[in-house]
Structure 1
Amino acid sequence: MRSVLAIGAHPDDIELGCGGTLAAHRAAGDRVTMLVVTGGQNGPGLVGGRRAEAEAAARSLDCGLVWGGLEDCAVTPDAATVAIIERAIREVEADVVYVHAPDDSHQDHRAVAAATLSAARHSRRILHYRSPSTTRFDPTVYVDISAHLDRKIDALACHHSQVEASAMVDPEVVAASARHFGAQARVRFAEAFMPARFVWDLAPPITLPHQASSLAEMVAA
């Protein structure tokens, strides 16, 4: 079982960027935590309900949720921000970290990406996801979310204030993006990532006793 930490600057960033992948992690039995660095106080729609929306979205994905407590549109990649992310990485003992792509027109996204690279400097798997405001994105890692696209869209629907005020969260747009990356990955639907670092663990899998017996029978035959 892996421990996964997904980091986003605002409520709904994580669901947009890697919600299907988080659903796939949970289906595989992995433990998943979402760190939302700000409360989205300056976003569109009814700002007062964004915390409840994020909590509902996390429940729909069966993920843990923690808050960074910083101010929307005022995030900087300083020592305080790095410390918030370091603490989350340490507390969940993250094996995999997902975060914004560094080239982004939103200053909070850039700041969170930069702070994460510092905080996760000892991590073996750091993957950048795409946001609607990402300006350059050249993915080389893909996750098949064909079985999980509906859960991603359901999680995004929890962010009512954003869905109503932004075309970027339109389910048709989300599905089209997943289909686009799926075509690149040669699957139906996918999410795409740029690895800052990705160590592929090729240790042999653990063989259970009944599997060993079956293997021995096949060899004998």
Structure 2
Amino acid sequence: MRNVLAIGAHPDDIELGCGGTLAAHRAAGDPVTMLVVTGGQNGPGEVAERRAEAEAAARSLDCLLLWGRSRDCAVAADADTIAVIEGAIRATEADVIYVHAPDDSHQDHRAVAAATLSAARHNRRVLHYRSPSTIKFEPSLYVDISAHLDRKLAALACHRSQVESSAMVDPEVVAASARHFGAQARVRFAEAFVPSRFVWDLAPPPQLGLALAEVPTYQALPTDEQRVA
């Protein structure tokens, strides 16, 4: 089991960037928490409406939702923002963290990415997701969301104020992006990530470990001389 923390600057950022992956984590039994750093004060829709939409989206993904205290379009990668993210990391005991890609045209996205890298400096898995405003994105890690694309789209549909006013949240565009990354990953639909840090622990869980006597032994393949003999 992995404790998952997904961080976004605004309501709907997380669902756009990694909603299918969060659904896959929940299907695998992983606890998932979403931290939204601002209330989306400068976007379409009222703050109360956007908060209600985000809460509905989190429920649809079966995730816990936390709120930061920064203001939309005024996020800084300062001590306050870092402290909020550090608090979420401690509270969730996060093993895996998802956050914006740092090369982004939106200043809030850049600030949240930078603050997360500081707050998660001791974490072993930090993965950056793509936003519609991301500039440079060269993924090397993919999550198959073929079984979870419908849940991603359902979560995004909860953000009605954004879907009605922004082509970036158009379900066809979202599905096309998942198909594009799926083609890169050799699956039908995928979400893509750029790891800032990814430690792959290959040690089996204790309950699945084999006793020493049960561990199979392997013999080297015979050399050409041995085959001739």
Q: Under a length normalisation based on structure 1, what TM-score does the superposition of the two structures give?
A: 0.93
Number of the residue aligned with 2:156:
156
Number of the residue aligned with 1:15:
15
Q: CA deviation at 1:22?
A: 0.1
Larger Rg: 2
Name the % identity. Answer: 82
User: CA deviation digits over 1:22-56, x for unaligned, max 9?
Assistant: 00000000000000000001002344300000000
Q: CA deviation at 1:206?
A: 4.7
Instruction: Provide the rounded CA distance (Å) in 2 between the counterparts of 1:57 and 1:49.
Output: 12
Number of the residue aligned with 1:183:
183
Number of the residue aligned with 1:219:
none
Instruction: Provide the rounded CA distance (Å) in 1 between the counterparts of 2:81 and 2:46.
Output: 26
What SS does the aligned partner of 2:137 have? coil
Instruction: Provide the rounded CA distance (Å) in 1 between the counterparts of 2:95 and 2:174.
Output: 27
What SS does the aligned partner of 1:165 have? coil
Instruction: Provide the rounded CA distance (Å) in 2 between the counterparts of 1:3 and 1:200.
Output: 15
Is the 1:45–1:165 contact (alpha carbons within 8 Å) kept by the matching residues of 2?
no
Instruction: Provide the rounded CA distance (Å) in 1 between the counterparts of 2:154 and 2:82.
Output: 31
The aligned runs of 1:37-56 (5 Å cut-off) are 37-56=37-56
User: CA deviation digits over 1:104-126, x for unaligned, max 9?
Assistant: 00000000000000000000000
Q: CA deviation at 1:205?
A: 4.3
Number of the residue aligned with 1:89:
89
Instruction: Provide the rounded CA distance (Å) in 2 between the counterparts of 1:157 and 1:204.
Output: 39
Counterpart code for 1:95: D
Number of the residue aligned with 1:118:
118
What SS does the aligned partner of 2:37 have? strand
Counterpart code for 2:159: H
The aligned runs of 1:1-221 (5 Å cut-off) are 1-206=1-206
User: CA deviation digits over 1:52-107, x for unaligned, max 9?
Assistant: 00000000000000000210000000011000000000010000000000000000
Measured on the aligned residues, the alpha-carbon RMSD in Å equals: 1.6
Instruction: Provide the rounded CA distance (Å) in 1 between the counterparts of 2:57 and 2:22.
Output: 12
Q: Under a length normalisation based on structure 2, what TM-score does the superposition of the two structures give?
A: 0.90
What SS does the aligned partner of 2:122 have? coil
Unaligned runs of 5+ in 2: 216-229
Unaligned runs of 5+ in 1: 217-221
Aligned residues: 213
Counterpart code for 2:162: Q
Instruction: Provide the rounded CA distance (Å) in 2 between the counterparts of 1:205 and 1:86.
Output: 27
Counterpart code for 1:19: G
Q: CA deviation at 1:204?
A: 2.2
What SS does the aligned partner of 1:109 have? helix
Instruction: Provide the rounded CA distance (Å) in 2 between the counterparts of 1:80 and 1:71.
Output: 12
Q: Please list every run of at least 4 consecutive aligned residues from structure 1 whose deviation after the TM superposition is greater than 2 angstroms.
A: 45-48, 204-209
Instruction: Provide the rounded CA distance (Å) in 2 between the counterparts of 1:205 and 1:195.
Output: 24
